[in-house]
């Protein structure tokens, strides 16, 4: 079954988020301990999180499974 344009768009958004996270990981070694702590706290408090999205995607059964 082919994917809809909306599903492809969402997958592209996910790819964009992955690129952003790679950039964050590349920058982490340049941060001080205090900066790392504050950025980590900011990440943990960000909503919606990747887990929130994964749960929303898993909430409905897949019709072809």
pLDDT for the residue 30: 98
CA distance 58 to 61: 7
pLDDT at 5: 96
For residue range 4-53, what is the model confidence (pLDDT) as tens digits? 999 999 999 999 999 999 999 999 999 999 999 999 999 999 999 999 99
Q: Can you give the pLDDT at residue 1? A: 80
Burial 12-50 (b: 16+ CB within 10 A, else e): eeeeeeeeeeeeeeeeeeeeeeeeeeeeeeeeeeeeeee
pLDDT of residue 64: 63
pTM as predicted? 0.78
Outline where 3-62 has alpha helix (H).
Answer: 5-27, 33-45, 50-58
């Amino acid at each position: 079954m082919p994917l809809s344009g909306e599903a492809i768009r969402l997958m592209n958004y996910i790819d964009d988020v992955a690129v952003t996270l790679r950039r964050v990981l590349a920058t982490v070694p340049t941060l001080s301990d205090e900066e790392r702590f504050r950025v980590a706290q900011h990440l943990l408090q960000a909503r919606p999180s990747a887990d929130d999205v994964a749960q929303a995607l898993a909430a409905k059964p897949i019709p072809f499974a």
